[in-house]
């Protein structure tokens, strides 16, 4: 009977986040690990976020580190955030190592002590291997390094060379970069395209994408490091005005990305450009295989930015921080990032990899252009951006109102005021002034 | 099926009698209760852990400010106060009721007609019953993706409209298009389920009533609305109540239909597809405002409770008293089966 109550109580505590129960029984940080009592460290990731080959190697034993094994568990990418949060709240079955998405890392800032400060494990020694802006984005406002650079998402302008040519526009990547250096020029080119290219193609699929990219080119987003709302300032307003201008000039197809209509428009040549990151390549190839050879890549108007990418983190329940950190530096070394790029198309955060001949392969989908020629420099030039924990709460109203303007014809000025008001109200409840 | 859904309420009455007998024949002997209690304990233990505790915990959470990991901060009734001033929340309440009305009324009517047709002599009745029930057990996420293609600008729905000479509809880009799309998905999913419940109720009606109606010269329509419908009242109440409870919790359809790579476009243009539960999910699980989400959950509970009572009054207004335990029994069983 005694035994049964114990287990039931443990079950309650574990399954419901009964932190108090476990606290009473004296469970310290050391026993909260999911790998407690095993010979390996546990790692949570989602499909496609890490190289399967390297993980298979790590499961047998990390090379150069005798006795160190890391076992990965694949978690659906929609669930991993809530699973990590649940285990951290329960202080039980927490993974030693976990992958965090770029827009997710900042949401852990208010709970930064749940993660190990990687500087205490000697992270500074490998700093010069990694992109500077990516490295800086691993830090919380208080200066704790809770993330380690996994992959990057440098952005580019994807465009249809054939349509640009038929419209009499500059159409070779170098020329496009030189003659369409700003968003204003981009809009002007869109008007020519719409007037002269066959089938009157739209310039962009929807205006939200451009809003997103203009925003990412700015070092500031919606909330600054002092927890002040800055979403009503010029950098956001500029992104908003450019997006509205695209719509006013009828250059947007008004199609949501990823929908069947989007797929039809891309393969049917109704949309002539995409402003997005390197990871969109495979999606585009799947969506519009028939357009192979007509696409080209060039520098984004107003310069490159970073969109997406991930981090690895060590939780404070990590059983063996030194070994886990050694695993990170092995898995994310320039040589292994190169392998991950070849196997999984994960774009390296180690600039040394970009010079490797293995990355300089011509891609027939882009008419034999080497994507690295555009994405490599873009990755090195991306700005240092501060993302606050409240970015999603703050930017949701803006994206929503842009959709309303585009799809329902809402007055842009009224939509802007509504977006600012909604964001301010939501943020004030979260302690952002 | 037929006994479970017996509209006269016999099962519940049996249960009551049985439990009374059990109590009276075992005075004092506590030991005797141990084996049966142990036998039923797995359910109650699991229900306590995964049902009661989370429910009570969410009530506690609704008075706190919590991001899911760190320390909670007691904020009293502030979450509720903020919620009552939140225009998106009220918009989601309105959307939910509009979608609920658009889906439930045609669905219950269709289900009744279907049940009546299935009850009459047709060939392959079994096959039809299975066919109508299949949508209910199909993965909603998969089906919503299929419906996403159907309602696309160049999708099946618009192709059909154009084929008969009508203009295409902005199914996913206009206020009533969005609401109709979601409602159609709900009807598609639940009409077979409710038809089977009505069918079970129909089978409990003595055949003499049908024969008498036929002798008196009633046609099919008159039989359905004058003979069947009044006798099915308790079953219709059951279907209406469960449809209300389900209808006010619409989530998957809206969530998957407007899920895209765009951040923050939940609920579609104008947030016309934003339902209460979708908003709850967005706040609690995407923006990590668990206190706010919990408060929303409790307001939703209050709304459902009010509407269940209204439903009950409306449908069983002039009912005899002895029917009520029957409905309660049915609801209890339904709750047990769904694990709610």
DSSP three-state, residue B340:
coil
Domain that includes residue A103, residue range: 28-152+309-359
DSSP letter, residue B271: G
| Average confidence (pLDDT) over B315-326 | 52
Distance from the Cα of A313 to chain B's closest Cα (Å) equals 16
Q: What is the pLDDT, as a whole number, of residue A30?
A: 52
Contact criterion met (CB below 8 Å) for A364 and A142:
no
> Looking at A317, A332, A359, which one is the last position of a domain?
A359
Q: How many CA atoms lie within 13 A of B259 on its CB side?
A: 16
Number of domains present in the structure of chain B: 1
Confidence of residue B226 (pLDDT cuts 50, 70, 90): confident
Contact criterion met (CB below 8 Å) for A180 and A170:
yes
> Looking at A341, A359, A377, which one is the last position of a domain?
A359
Confidence of residue B8 (pLDDT cuts 50, 70, 90): very low
Could you tell me if residue B250 is inside a domain?
Answer: yes
Cβ of A224 under 8 Å from any chain B Cβ?
no
DSSP letter, residue B260: -
| Average confidence (pLDDT) over B29-36 | 83
Answer yes or no: do A392 and B53 touch at CB < 8 A. no
Phi, then psi, of A278 in degrees rounded to 5:
-60, -30
| Average confidence (pLDDT) over B152-175 | 88
Cβ of A48 under 8 Å from any chain B Cβ?
no
Confidence of residue A316 (pLDDT cuts 50, 70, 90): very high
Q: Nearest Cβ partner of B261 from A257, A392, A406? A: A257
Of B308, B296, B184, give the one whose Cα is nearest residue B243. Answer: B308
- Shared-domain flag, residues A275 and A388: yes
**Cα separation of B340 and B338, whole Å?**
5
Q: CB-based contacts of B297: which residues, under 8 Å, 6+ apart?
A: B58, B62, B280
Answer yes or no: do B68 and A85 touch at CB < 8 A. yes
Cβ of A93 under 8 Å from any chain B Cβ?
no
What secondary structure does DSSP assign to B10-71, as a single string?
A: HHHHHHHHHHHHHHHH-SS-HHHHHHHHHHHHHHHHHHIIIIIHHHHHHHHHTTEE--SSS-
Closest A-chain CA to B266: A400
| Average confidence (pLDDT) over B143-169 | 88
Answer yes or no: do B155 and A260 touch at CB < 8 A. yes
Query: What CATH number is attached to the domain comprising A379?
Result: 3.40.190.10
| Average confidence (pLDDT) over A267-272 | 94
Contact criterion met (CB below 8 Å) for B144 and B252:
yes
Residues of B in contact with A259 (CB under 8 A): 148, 152, 172, 260
Answer yes or no: do B292 and A208 touch at CB < 8 A. no
Q: What is the pLDDT, as a whole number, of residue B62?
A: 96
* Number of other CB atoms surrounding residue A228 within 10 Å: 11
- Lowest mean pLDDT of B1-15, B216-230, B248-262, name the range: B1-15
Closest B-chain CA to A418: B87
Q: Nearest Cβ partner of A89 from B68, B152, B154? A: B68
- Shared-domain flag, residues A221 and A114: no
**Cα separation of B174 and B180, whole Å?**
10
3-state DSSP of chain A: CHHHHHHHHHHHHHHHCCHHHHHHCCCCHHHCECCCCCCCEEEEECCCCCCHHHHHHHHHCCCCCCCCCEEEEECCCCCHHHHHHHHHHHCCCECCEEEEEHHHHHHHHHHHHHECCHHHHCHHHHHHHCCHHHHHCCECCCCCECCEEEEEEEEEEEEEHHHHHHCCCCCCHHHHHHHCCCHHHHHHHHHHHHHHCCCCCECECCHHHHHHHHHHCCCCCCECCCCCECCCCHHHHHHHHHHHHHHHCCCECCCCCCCHHHHHHHHCCCECEEEEEHHHHHHHHHHCHHHCCCEEEECCCCCCCEEEEEEEEEECCCCCHHHHHHHHHHHCCHHHHHHHHHHHCCCECCHHHHHCHHHCCCEHHHCCECHHHHHHHHHHHCCCCCCCCCHHHHHHHHHHHHHHHHHHCCCHHHHHHHHHHHHHHHHHHCCCC
Q: What is the pLDDT, as a whole number, of residue B260?
A: 59
Answer yes or no: do A395 and B264 touch at CB < 8 A. yes
* Number of other CB atoms surrounding residue B306 within 10 Å: 10
Percent of chain B with pLDDT over 70: 82
Confidence of residue B4 (pLDDT cuts 50, 70, 90): very low
Closest B-chain CA to A205: B262
**Cα separation of B94 and B88, whole Å?**
10
- Shared-domain flag, residues A297 and A386: yes
Cβ of B159 under 8 Å from any chain A Cβ?
no
Answer yes or no: do B264 and A396 touch at CB < 8 A. yes
Look at residue A416 and tell me whether its pLDDT is greater than 50: yes
Confidence of residue B300 (pLDDT cuts 50, 70, 90): very high
Residues of A in contact with B57 (CB under 8 A): 16
**Cα separation of A386 and B281, whole Å?**
26
List C-alpha distances in Å: A408 to A238, B59, B272, B313: 22, 38, 11, 40
Answer yes or no: do A107 and B172 touch at CB < 8 A. no
Could you tell me if residue A15 is inside a domain?
Answer: no
Distance from the Cα of A312 to chain B's closest Cα (Å) equals 19
Residue from A10, A21, A396 whose CB has the most chain B CBs within 10 Å, to mutate: A396
Q: What is the pLDDT, as a whole number, of residue B267?
A: 82
Q: Nearest Cβ partner of B69 from A85, A256, A425? A: A85
Could you tell me if residue A6 is inside a domain?
Answer: no
- B132: burial class by Cβ within 10 Å (0-12, 13-18, 19+)? buried
- Shared-domain flag, residues A237 and A302: yes
Answer yes or no: do B173 and A111 touch at CB < 8 A. no
- Shared-domain flag, residues A341 and A298: no
**Cα separation of A92 and B165, whole Å?**
62
Which helix or strand (DSSP H or E) is residue B73 part of?
A: strand B73-74
Answer yes or no: do B264 and A399 touch at CB < 8 A. yes
Query: What CATH number is attached to the domain comprising B266?
Result: 1.10.3720.10
Of A369, A344, A390, give the one whose Cα is nearest residue A106. Answer: A390
Answer yes or no: do B53 and A256 touch at CB < 8 A. no
**Cα separation of B162 and B125, whole Å?**
35
Residue from B257, B264, B280, B284 whose CB has the most chain A CBs within 10 Å, to mutate: B264
Answer yes or no: do A403 and B265 touch at CB < 8 A. yes
List C-alpha distances in Å: A114 to A35, A67, A333: 17, 26, 25
Look at residue B328 and tell me whether its pLDDT is greater than 70: no
Could you tell me if residue B198 is inside a domain?
Answer: yes
Contact criterion met (CB below 8 Å) for A272 and A203:
yes
Residues of B in contact with A208 (CB under 8 A): 262, 265
- Shared-domain flag, residues A128 and A272: no
Q: Nearest Cβ partner of A89 from B69, B263, B268? A: B69
Of A301, A348, A340, A391, give the one whose Cα is nearest residue A107. Answer: A391
List C-alpha distances in Å: A298 to A205, A216, A307, B129: 18, 17, 16, 58
Residues of A in contact with B173 (CB under 8 A): 254, 407-408
Number of domains present in the structure of chain A: 2
Could you tell me if residue A8 is inside a domain?
Answer: no
- A378: burial class by Cβ within 10 Å (0-12, 13-18, 19+)? buried
Residue from A211, A395, A429 whose CB has the most chain B CBs within 10 Å, to mutate: A429
Distance from the Cα of A288 to chain B's closest Cα (Å) equals 17
| Average confidence (pLDDT) over B138-161 | 88
**Cα separation of A407 and A405, whole Å?**
6
Token pair belonging to A410: 């809402």
Please name the residues between 268 and 297 in chain A that touch chain B, using a CB distance below 8 Å.
Answer: none
Could you tell me if residue A227 is inside a domain?
Answer: yes
Could you tell me if residue A121 is inside a domain?
Answer: yes
Average pLDDT, chain B: 82
Closest A-chain CA to B57: A16
List C-alpha distances in Å: B201 to B211, B214, B242: 17, 20, 15
Domain that includes residue B162, residue range: 10-338
- Shared-domain flag, residues A223 and A162: yes
Residues of B in contact with A258 (CB under 8 A): 260-261
Residues of A in contact with B260 (CB under 8 A): 256-259
- Lowest mean pLDDT of A7-21, A309-323, B31-45, name the range: A7-21
Contact criterion met (CB below 8 Å) for A108 and A115:
yes
pLDDT digits (tens, 9 = 90+) for B117-144: 888 777 888 888 888 889 988 888 888 8
Residues of B in contact with A406 (CB under 8 A): 269
Helices and strands of chain B, counted as H and E runs: 17, 2
* Number of other CB atoms surrounding residue B168 within 10 Å: 15
Q: What is the pLDDT, as a whole number, of residue B265?
A: 53
Distance from the Cα of B274 to chain A's closest Cα (Å) equals 11
Confidence of residue B237 (pLDDT cuts 50, 70, 90): confident
Could you tell me if residue B2 is inside a domain?
Answer: no
- Lowest mean pLDDT of A393-397, A423-427, B206-210, B336-340, name the range: B336-340
* Number of other CB atoms surrounding residue A247 within 10 Å: 19
* ipTM here: 0.84
- Shared-domain flag, residues A107 and A162: no
**Cα separation of B211 and B209, whole Å?**
5
Q: What is the pLDDT, as a whole number, of residue B168?
A: 84
Q: What is the pLDDT, as a whole number, of residue B256?
A: 83
- Shared-domain flag, residues A228 and A111: no
- A46: burial class by Cβ within 10 Å (0-12, 13-18, 19+)? middle
**Cα separation of B107 and B96, whole Å?**
16
Answer yes or no: do A399 and B175 touch at CB < 8 A. no
Residue from B47, B64, B258, B287 whose CB has the most chain A CBs within 10 Å, to mutate: B287
| Average confidence (pLDDT) over B61-71 | 91
Look at residue B5 and tell me whether its pLDDT is greater than 60: no
Confidence of residue A13 (pLDDT cuts 50, 70, 90): very low
Could you tell me if residue A17 is inside a domain?
Answer: no
Chain A to chain B, count of Cβ pairs less than 8 Å apart? 109
DSSP three-state, residue B287:
coil
Answer yes or no: do B173 and A254 touch at CB < 8 A. yes
Could you tell me if residue A345 is inside a domain?
Answer: yes
**Cα separation of A17 and A92, whole Å?**
8
**Cα separation of B293 and B282, whole Å?**
8
Token pair belonging to A407: 């799809």
> Looking at A359, A385, A419, which one is the last position of a domain?
A359
**Cα separation of A169 and A194, whole Å?**
11
pLDDT digits (tens, 9 = 90+) for A157-195: 999 999 999 999 999 999 999 999 999 999 999 999 999
Residue from A23, A90, A258, A408 whose CB has the most chain B CBs within 10 Å, to mutate: A408
pLDDT digits (tens, 9 = 90+) for A364-387: 999 999 999 999 999 999 999 999
CA B307, B313, B315, B316 dihedral sign is: positive
Look at residue B329 and tell me whether its pLDDT is greater than 60: no
Answer yes or no: do A259 and B262 touch at CB < 8 A. no
Distance from the Cα of A415 to chain B's closest Cα (Å) equals 11
- Shared-domain flag, residues A347 and A224: no
Look at residue B192 and tell me whether its pLDDT is greater than 80: yes
CA B209, B215, B217, B220 dihedral sign is: positive
Q: What is the pLDDT, as a whole number, of residue A370?
A: 96
Answer yes or no: do B263 and A8 touch at CB < 8 A. no
Please name the residues between 397 and 416 in chain A that touch chain B, using a CB distance below 8 Å.
Answer: 397-400, 403-404, 406-408, 410
DSSP three-state, residue B6:
coil
Token pair belonging to B229: 């419908």
Q: What is the pLDDT, as a whole number, of residue B17?
A: 46
| Alpha helix (H) residue ranges in B62-172 | 78-84, 87-119, 125-137, 140-150, 156-163
- Shared-domain flag, residues A188 and A286: yes
Residue from B47, B49, B148, B262 whose CB has the most chain A CBs within 10 Å, to mutate: B262
Distance from the Cα of A125 to chain B's closest Cα (Å) equals 31
Could you tell me if residue B5 is inside a domain?
Answer: no
Residue from A215, A258, A259 whose CB has the most chain B CBs within 10 Å, to mutate: A259
DSSP three-state, residue B74:
strand
Look at residue A271 and tell me whether its pLDDT is greater than 50: yes
- Shared-domain flag, residues A47 and A125: yes
Could you tell me if residue A391 is inside a domain?
Answer: yes
**Cα separation of B160 and A416, whole Å?**
38
Cβ of B260 under 8 Å from any chain A Cβ?
yes
- Lowest mean pLDDT of A22-31, A161-170, A270-279, B282-291, name the range: A22-31
Phi, then psi, of A95 in degrees rounded to 5:
-65, 150
Cβ of A421 under 8 Å from any chain B Cβ?
no
**What pTM did the predictor assign?**
0.84
**Cα separation of A101 and A233, whole Å?**
27
**Cα separation of A364 and A253, whole Å?**
27
Of A366, A331, A361, A362, give the one whose Cα is nearest residue A349. Answer: A331
């Amino acid at each position: 009977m005694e035994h049964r109550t114990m287990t039931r109580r443990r079950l309650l505590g574990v399954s419901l986040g009964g932190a108090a129960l476990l606290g009473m029984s004296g469970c310290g940080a050391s026993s909260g690990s999911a790998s407690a009592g095993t010979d390996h460290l546990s790692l949570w990731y989602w499909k496609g976020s890490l190289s399967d080959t390297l993980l298979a190697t790590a499961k047998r034993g990390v090379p150069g580190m005798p006795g160190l094994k890391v076992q990965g568990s694949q978690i659906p990418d929609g669930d991993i955030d809530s699973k990590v949060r649940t285990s951290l709240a329960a202080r039980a079955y927490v993974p030693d190592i976990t992958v965090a998405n770029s827009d997710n890392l900042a949401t852990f800032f208010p709970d930064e002590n749940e993660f190990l400060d990687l500087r205490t494990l000697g992270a500074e020694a490998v700093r010069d291997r990694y992109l500077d802006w990516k490295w800086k984005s691993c830090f919380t406002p208080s200066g704790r390094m809770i993330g380690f650079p996994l992959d990057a998402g440098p952005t580019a302008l994807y465009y249809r060379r054939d349509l640009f040519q038929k419209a009499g526009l500059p159409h070779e990547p170098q020329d496009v970069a030189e003659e369409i250096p700003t968003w204003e020029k981009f809009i002007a080119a869109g008007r020519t395209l719409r007037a002269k290219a066959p089938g009157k193609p739209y310039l962009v699929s929807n205006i939200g994408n451009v809003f997103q990219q203009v925003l990412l080119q700015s070092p500031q987003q919606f909330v600054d490091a002092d927890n002040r709302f800055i979403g009503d300032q010029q950098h956001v307003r500029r992104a908003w005005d450019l997006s509205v201008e695209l719509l006013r000039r009828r250059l947007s197809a008004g199609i949501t990305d990823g929908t069947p209509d989007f797929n039809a428009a891309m393969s049917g040549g109704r949309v002539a450009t995409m402003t997005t990151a390197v990871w969109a390549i495979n999606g585009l190839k799947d969506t519009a295989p028939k357009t192979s050879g007509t696409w080209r890549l060039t520098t984004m108007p107003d310069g490159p930015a970073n969109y997406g990418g991930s981090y690895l983190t060590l939780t404070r329940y990590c059983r063996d921080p030194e070994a886990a950190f050694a695993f990170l530096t092995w898995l994310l070394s320039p040589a292994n990032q190169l392998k991950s790029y070849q196997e999984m198309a994960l774009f390296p955060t180690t600039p040394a990899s970009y010079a490797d001949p293995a990355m300089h392969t011509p891609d027939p989908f882009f008419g034999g252009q080497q994507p690295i020629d555009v994405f490599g420099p873009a990755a090195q030039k991306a700005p240092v951006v501060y993302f606050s924990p409240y970015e999603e709460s703050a930017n949701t109203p803006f994206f929503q109102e842009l959709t309303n303007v585009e799809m329902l014809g809402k007055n842009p000025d009224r939509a802007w005021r509504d977006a600012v008001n909604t964001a301010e109200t939501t943020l004030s409840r979260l302690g952002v002034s | 099926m037929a006994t479970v859904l017996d509209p006269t309420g016999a099962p519940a009455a049996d249960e009551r009698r049985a439990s009374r007998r059990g109590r009276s024949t075992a005075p004092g002997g506590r030991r005797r209760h141990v084996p049966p209690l142990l036998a039923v304990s797995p359910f109650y233990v699991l229900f306590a852990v995964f049902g009661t505790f989370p429910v009570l915990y969410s009530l506690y959470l609704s008075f706190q400010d919590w991001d899911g990991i760190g320390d909670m901060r007691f904020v009293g009734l502030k979450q509720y106060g903020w919620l009552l001033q939140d225009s998106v929340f009220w918009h989601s309440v309105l959307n939910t009721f509009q979608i609920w009305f658009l889906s439930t009324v045609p669905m219950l009517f269709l289900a009744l007609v279907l049940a009546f047709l299935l009850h009459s002599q047709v060939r392959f009745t079994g096959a039809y019953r299975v066919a109508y029930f299949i949508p209910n057990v199909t993965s909603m996420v998969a089906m919503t993706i299929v419906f996403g293609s159907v309602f696309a600008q160049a999708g099946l729905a618009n192709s059909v409209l154009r084929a008969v000479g009508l203009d295409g509809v902005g199914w996913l880009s206009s206020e009533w298009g969005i609401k109709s799309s979601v409602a159609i998905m709900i009807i598609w999913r639940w009409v077979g389920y409710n038809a089977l419940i009505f069918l079970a109720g129909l089978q409990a009606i003595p055949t003499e009533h049908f024969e008498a109606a036929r002798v008196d010269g009633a046609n099919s329509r008159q039989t359905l609305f004058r003979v069947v419908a009044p006798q099915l009242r308790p079953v219709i109440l059951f279907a209406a109540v469960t449809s209300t409870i389900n209808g006010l919790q619409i989530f998957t359809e809206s969530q998957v239909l407007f899920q895209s790579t765009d951040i923050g476009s939940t609920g579609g243009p104008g947030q016309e597809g934003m339902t209460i539960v979708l908003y709850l999910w967005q706040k609690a699980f995407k923006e990590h405002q668990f206190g706010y989400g919990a408060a929303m959950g409790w307001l939703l509970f209050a709304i459902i409770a009010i509407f269940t009572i209204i439903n009950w009054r409306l449908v069983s207004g002039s009912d005899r008293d002895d029917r009520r335990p029957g409905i309660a029994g049915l609801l209890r069983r339904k709750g047990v089966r769904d694990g709610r």
